[in-house]
Amino acid sequence: MASAFEYAPAPESRSVVDIAPSYGLFVDGEFTEAADGKVFKTISPSTEEVLSEVARAGAEDVDRAVRAARKAFGTWSALPGAERAKYLFRIARIIQERSRELAVLETLDNGKPIRETRDADLPLVAAHFFYYAGWADKLEHAGFGARPRPLGVAGQVIPWNFPLLMLAWKIAPALATGNTVVLKPAETTPLSALFFADVCRQAGLPRGVVNILPGYGDAGAALVAHPDVNKVAFTGSTAVGKEIARTVAGTRKKLTLELGGKGANIVFDDAPIDQAVEGIVNGIFFNQGQVCCAGSRLLVQESVEEELLDALKRRLSTLRLGDPLDKNTDIGAINSEEQLTRITRLVEQGEAEGAERWSPQCEIPSAGYWFAPTLFTKVTQAHTVARDEIFGPVLSVLTFRTPDEAVAKANNTPYGLSAGVWTEKGSRILAVAGKLRAGVIWSNTFNKFDPTSPFGGYKESGFGREGGRHGLEAYLDV
Amino acid sequence: MPTTAPTANALADVTASDSTLRRFLHGLPGVDAVGLEARAASLGTRSIKTTAKAYAIDLAISMVDLTTLEGADTPGKVRALGAKAVLPDPTDRTAPATAAVCVYPDMVAVAKQAVAGSGVKVASVATAFPAGRAALEVKLADVRDAVAAGADEVDMVIDRGAFLAGKYLKVYDEIVAVKEACGGAARLKVIFETGELSTYDNIRRASWLGMLAGADFIKTSTGKVAVNATPANTLLMLEAVRDFRAQTGVQVGVKPAGGIRTSKDAIKFLVLVNETVGEDWLDNHWFRFGASSLLNDLLMQRQKLATGRYSGPDYVTVD
Amino acid sequence: MSDKTHKAHKAHKASRAQKAGGTHEAAADVEAVPAVTGDGTAPAAGAGPRVTVLKTYKLYVGGKFPRSESGRVYEVTDSEGNWLANAPRASRKDARDAVVAARKAFGGWSGATAYNRGQVLYRVAEMLEGRRHQFVREVADAEGLSEARAAGVVDATIDRWVWYAGWTDKIAQVTGGANPVAGPYFNLSSPEPTGVVAVLAPQESSFLGLVSVLAPVIATGNTAVLVASERAPLPALSLAEVLATSDVPGGVVNVLSGGTAELAAPLAAHQDVNAIDLAGADEQLAKELEVAAADNLKRVLRPQPVDYFATPGTDRMTAFLETKTVWHPTGSLGASGSSY
């Protein structure tokens, strides 16, 4: 009887989004083909269905887009801040109006659950534009000098894990401060950026202020290297981030990088255990773990390891993996075959190195790219799964005995993006948070984001901050 | 499930004295309010449709303790309630009966008559409900009265004053005494009045205190204060019964009461049960709703599912 | 080092020293110091100039004053090419030792209270004030300035320490703060030092420029490996002596002299250096170093034209600060809500 309470499928309707069979580049206010006519297909990772064919930008297109942005820069930067603000407010509002459509689109193109695009990505996107809109006419109060000036043309390259949210993090502060932008979305998730171009059209944004160039790494490299770009902002892997840093070396381009991480989530024996379990789950299985600030290393005090692992395994068994458009799905698809291969390889390496692998019973759909939530126990600092960023739903569990050891292990990584601390003891929270070398510390919570809250890393997780007053600095000549 | 052997003896030790009990209760893991509420809210976004919804509505109806606890209660009113509990939807006999009717002790006899032979239980509040401010002897007499009149279940209130004053052993002893007064004839529901305990840490401690003392059910509220059952406090109590069973092997029921008025709310609570403690509790022996107006909304939703039209209040019976 | 070389240098030094001494303090030397007579008999009082005691300039690493492990020195001259001293020509191993010392000192220095750091920096100013004449002479020699101009430089430099001493417990209030997030969370951003910072001191401004790039780095709690101006390292090496007696913990500042390019390369590539200030690098070197620095994503402050006499902004501090943002749930006073 009781087992009859299986939730029936509750798919969000696809009909709210109308995906065209093909899309061009968005340059100087118009959709155009690539100069060399190249295109690529974008697929839905949960079904491998081709969603659309998209123009593929090359170096020539990058040059054209940068020229358009340069041309637009003069009038856009000269516009009174209050007027620029109103365009951004318009964009925020239009995104709110179209949020259902954009959430479904993002879920289709990225593979993440609609629950996340609906409840996290889209609300944060709108909030980010709304927040930075308000800065546009208040820049002289931001603490970056009496007359802060924009830099010029911003070249922005974003990843596939939060396509529209990363676009918002890049474009909102850039426009608020009077820059114009050329943005390259990731090759596996170009659609929401192209829909954003349509949002710009509806908002009446002057042509050339925002240019969107779908494409591959070569387009990103050309954009970063373009001599008329004044500012480079990149979110993505640490390896590419280093390459970009080398490219801009010796130029006057301002650079901000938001890169990889291997976040430690530290659970003390006096933690609020049920909330800690939720935080751990949210920390590593949110967006299938394809999150730079994921809490991918669980550091648990040895005295509560068994209790916590029991609770964690029980909780993982209730996660629902499957159709990302189903409103009850917790775990969606991995974004691409390439990423799935990487996750698989690292997990196999973890097993080979002697860590114990565990996953809950869960049915994997036959089509698409999927990876079951995975736990590694008996992990030490020496294991690859404790050191390399996996960028997938894989949690490595390590133990510690004392707060000092917890901090030492948490900091023992070249990364420094995020960390979590779980304890009911206030002074310990503050002491540990103070010693952790990471840009964002979540204490008794995890994976919380807000446009007012600066985000960014220490060490090899990059430099510069996005969000908040701090996020303005990246786009101002200070 | 417990990975270590059941520790009934160890738990017996915790009630040896006021200080051991205090140490134990204060040693329970803390509760982060924001995290708890966020988890409850996130489970509230589960989308329940079609067959799952029909199942959930019938299950919810079967879990209702249909309640009247008014100064103005009369035998007539209680008889009407009993009839409704037995046959909630006169137009559709496939609708299940509710779990119980819940009344004051002096109405138990009337209620017993009204539901006789139906399988619907009679629950009685007792122990100087709702404030619980009376001498222990008076409370116990209250309980004995109800049981003597045939109550299948007793819904007692704890002494919140004693609990908030830190006199945990006093609260414990009182529950033990009431349980004894139930004499094995009636199942005991222990009401914490969570709205008065105020903090989630207190609710977790009260849950364990009640279970240690032998509660068959732990129940959120009397329905007589401003804040009664909420998804968060019910989730917290579900976690407590889950952990208690893991440690002792003893299963305890949960009853949110007060403030649950719509089918949508009820289904959210069932999702909490399903995802926190699982199907072992998805049965009216282990989970109840203390409610009155909820039943009509469930019935209207049931009619809507059956006919495809939205129903109206004229198509369900007034209480 | 080879003994032979060492002796040769010493002999050389003696001859130059008399000239150097004569240039600046001739009158005093002659009056106060007995002369050496040609035949070796005891001189009569006031009969000739005294031979001044010269300083052996050393590196400053981990609070100690070692010679370069390589045993190398190079000749430092004044702006007219006159010999001033032999400065240690530090090697990549010295640079490595300096990084180790700076890393070791980081925990304590970054963990010290801002008030304490402020007092330490102020103490540096106090100590410098007492040795003002020495630095005026060294700066005049190093940069070919008149005594008055050099005095101006030294005064400005002392004042710069005072300026940064006052910043230590204010920068966090200026750059950090609470963020009003849309949810039940307390959210606070505060600046934290980046870690070990390699500082290439400006080549031309041997003292004011040096302090202008060093003080902001340590004011905020970083530790520094400083590469002195290649041509004019003596004020930097003398500053180390002041730091050593100013309550600055050993390892917080480490001073190397030698070839800027030679020392900067291993520092820029060092995986345990968190940031690099390229003030003393030319355009080509700066580019090479920035490329090398990308290997572990060092924070890089590119060289830029600076008027060191002007009051600085906060840029040189914020360049080596990380923003840490901490979240914590707030929640309500009770499970049943609260009217407060």
pLDDT tens figures, C174-205: 999 999 999 999 999 999 999 999 999 999 99
Same domain, C31 and C99: no
Same domain, C28 and C164: no
Nearest to A27 by CA among A209, A273, A229: A209
Same domain, C107 and C5: no
Task: Flag whether residue B194 sits within 8 Å of chain C, measured between CB atoms.
Answer: yes
Residues in chain B: 319
Positions of chain B with pLDDT under 50: 1-7
Query: B137 in helix, strand or coil?
Result: helix
Say which of B29, B31, B282 has its CB closest to residue A5.
B282
Query: What integer best gives the mean pLDDT of chain C?
Result: 89
Distance between CA atoms of B146 and A372, rounded to whole angstroms?
Answer: 54
Which one of C336, C338, C339, C340 would you mutate to disrupt binding with B, by most B Cβ within 10 Å of its Cβ? C336
Distance between CA atoms of B83 and B110, rounded to whole angstroms?
Answer: 11
Q: Which domains does chain B have, with CATH numbers?
A: 33-306 (3.20.20.70)
Q: Which residues contact A354 (CB under 8 A, 6 or more apart)?
A: A378, A383
* Domain tally, chain C: 2
Residue indicated by tokens 């001494």? C21
Same domain, C189 and C275: yes
Chain-chain contact of C336 with B198 (C-beta, under 8 angstroms): yes
Query: A254: which strand partners?
Result: A231
Q: Is residue C217 part of a domain?
A: yes
Chain-chain contact of A327 with B280 (C-beta, under 8 angstroms): no
Chain-chain contact of C323 with A259 (C-beta, under 8 angstroms): no
Task: Flag whether residue B41 sits within 8 Å of chain A, measured between CB atoms.
Answer: no
Distance between CA atoms of A344 and A338, rounded to whole angstroms?
Answer: 10
Distance between CA atoms of A328 and A305, rounded to whole angstroms?
Answer: 30
Segment C271-285, tens digit of pLDDT: 999 999 999 999 999
Distance between CA atoms of B146 and C197, rounded to whole angstroms?
Answer: 79
Chain A residue with minimum CA distance to C313: A145
Distance from CA of A271 to the nearest CA of B (A): 7
Segment A336-374, tens digit of pLDDT: 999 999 999 999 999 999 999 999 999 999 999 999 999
Say which of B35, B37, B226 has its CB closest to residue C336.
B226
Chain A residue with minimum CA distance to C176: A470
Report whether C153 contacts C145 (CB < 8 A): yes
* Strand pairing class (A374-377; A356-358): antiparallel
The CATH number of the domain holding residue C114 is 3.40.605.10
Class of domain A264-443 (CATH, top level): alpha beta
Chain C residue with minimum CA distance to B35: C329
Same domain, C193 and C282: yes
Same domain, C44 and C101: no
Q: Look up residue A274 and give its amino acid.
A: D
Tokens of C100: 């180790």
Tokens of C107: 């925990």
Helical H runs in A234-304? 238-248, 273-285
Domain that holds residue C251: 92-329
CA distances from A35 to A38, A121, A154 (A): 8, 33, 22
Within chain A, all domains assigned CATH 3.40.309.10 are found at 264-443
Same domain, C219 and C304: yes
Gap between the terminal Cα atoms of chain C: 75
CA C224 centroid distance within chain: 8
Nearest to A374 by CA among A349, A353, A356: A356
State the pLDDT confidence band at C332, using cuts at 50, 70 and 90: confident
| Catalytically annotated residues of A | 258, 292
Distance between CA atoms of C336 and C125, rounded to whole angstroms?
Answer: 58
Nearest to A391 by CA among A473, A471, A286: A286
Angle C311-C313-C318 (CA atoms, 0-180°, nearest 5)? Answer: 145
Say which of A127, A242, A440 has its CB closest to residue C325.
A440
Which pLDDT value is given to residue C337? 61
State the pLDDT confidence band at C335, using cuts at 50, 70 and 90: low
Q: Is residue C288 part of a domain?
A: yes
Distance between CA atoms of C300 and A256, rounded to whole angstroms?
Answer: 11
Distance from CA of B40 to the nearest CA of C (A): 13
Backbone angles phi, psi at A403, to 5 degrees: -55, -40
Segment C105-122, tens digit of pLDDT: 999 999 999 999 999 999
The domain covering A14-259+458-477 belongs, at the CATH homologous superfamily level, to: Aldehyde Dehydrogenase; Chain A, domain 1 (3.40.605.10)
Within chain A, all domains assigned CATH 3.40.605.10 are found at 14-259+458-477
Selected residues 220-259 of chain B with any CB under 8 Å from a CB in chain C: 225-227, 230, 232-233
pLDDT-above-90 percentage for chain A: 98
Same domain, C37 and C96: no
Q: Which residues contact C223 (CB under 8 A, 6 or more apart)?
A: C102, C103, C105, C106, C109, C110, C195, C196, C197, C251, C252, C253, C254
Q: Evaluate the CA torsion angle B19, B20, B21, B27 in order and state its sign.
A: positive
Same domain, C26 and C132: no
Query: C146 in helix, strand or coil?
Result: coil
Chain-chain contact of C323 with A445 (C-beta, under 8 angstroms): no
Cis before B231? omega within 30: no
Distance from CA of A293 to the nearest CA of C (A): 13
Which pLDDT value is given to residue B6? 43
Distance between CA atoms of A196 and A466, rounded to whole angstroms?
Answer: 20
Query: Is A330 exposed, middle or buried (CB count within 10 Å of its CB: 0-12, 13-18, 19+)?
Result: buried
Same domain, C129 and C38: no
Q: How many CB pairs under 8 A join B and C?
A: 36
Instruction: Please spell the DSSP secondary structure of B60-126, one letter per residue.
Output: HHHTEEEE---TT--HHHHHHHHHHHH-S-TT-TTSPPPSEEEE-GGGHHHHHHHHTTS--EEEEEE
Positions of chain A with pLDDT under 70: 1-4
Distance from CA of C310 to the nearest CA of B (A): 50
Longest dimension (CA), chain A: 71
CA distances from C50 to A202, B242, C21, C34, C36 (A): 87, 92, 10, 5, 7
Which pLDDT value is given to residue B319? 73
Supply the Cα-derived Rg of chain C in whole angstroms.
24
Q: Look up residue A115 and give its amino acid.
A: R
Nearest to A303 by CA among A405, A388, A195: A405
Tokens of A89: 């407010």
For residue C322, give the H/E element and its range.
Answer: strand C321-329
**Please, which chains are in contact with C (at least 3 CB pairs closer than 8 A)?**
A, B
Distance between CA atoms of B34 and A445, rounded to whole angstroms?
Answer: 9
Residue indicated by tokens 């979110």? A235
Taking CB atoms and an 8 Å cutoff, what residues of chain C touch B32? 329, 331
Give residue ranges of C with CB < 8 Å to any A CB.
Answer: 174-175, 177, 179-183, 185, 187, 189, 194, 274, 283, 286-287, 290-291, 293-297, 299-300, 302, 313, 315, 322-329
CA distances from C76 to A82, B150, C88, C138, C233 (A): 58, 107, 10, 12, 8
Same domain, C234 and C126: yes
Report whether C124 contacts C158 (CB < 8 A): no
Longest dimension (CA), chain B: 60
Say which of B34, B49, B283 has its CB closest to residue A8.
B49
Instruction: Please spell the DSSP secondary structure of A127-182, one letter per residue.
Output: HHHHHHHHHTT-GGGTTS-SS-EE-SEEEEE--SSSHHHHHHHHHHHHHHTT-EEE
Segment C9-45, tens digit of pLDDT: 444 444 444 444 444 444 344 344 444 444 555 555 5
ipTM: 0.96
Q: Is residue C68 part of a domain?
A: no
Chain-chain contact of C297 with A238 (C-beta, under 8 angstroms): yes
Which pLDDT value is given to residue C336? 62
The 10 Å Cβ neighbour count of residue A271 is: 25
Residue indicated by tokens 């381009």? A253
Q: Evaluate the CA torsion angle C23, C25, C27, C30 in order and state its sign.
A: negative
Q: How many CB pairs under 8 A join A and C?
A: 104
Longest dimension (CA), chain C: 103
**Please, which chains are in contact with B (at least 3 CB pairs closer than 8 A)?**
A, C
Q: Is residue C322 part of a domain?
A: yes
Of B219, B265, B268, B297, which one is the catalytic site residue?
B219
Respond yes or no: is residue B255 known to be catalytic: yes
Edge-first strand listing for the sheet containing A394-400:
A356-358, A374-377, A394-400, A297-301, A264-267, A418-422, A440-443, C321-329, C185-193, C177-178
Which pLDDT value is given to residue C29? 40
Nearest to B250 by CA among B273, B217, B228: B217
Tokens of B83: 């009839």
Distance between CA atoms of C117 and C247, rounded to whole angstroms?
Answer: 10
Distance between CA atoms of A254 and A199, rounded to whole angstroms?
Answer: 28
Same domain, C50 and C111: no
Tokens of A145: 């000098």
Distance between CA atoms of C127 and B54, rounded to whole angstroms?
Answer: 84
Distance between CA atoms of A288 and A113, rounded to whole angstroms?
Answer: 9
Which pLDDT value is given to residue A138? 98
Taking CB atoms and an 8 Å cutoff, what residues of chain B touch C337? 227
Distance from CA of A454 to the nearest CA of C (A): 7
Which pLDDT value is given to residue B8? 53
Distance from CA of C198 to the nearest CA of B (A): 43
Distance between CA atoms of A312 and A324, rounded to whole angstroms?
Answer: 23
Angle B162-B167-B173 (CA atoms, 0-180°, nearest 5)? Answer: 90
Query: Is B316 exposed, middle or buried (CB count within 10 Å of its CB: 0-12, 13-18, 19+)?
Result: buried
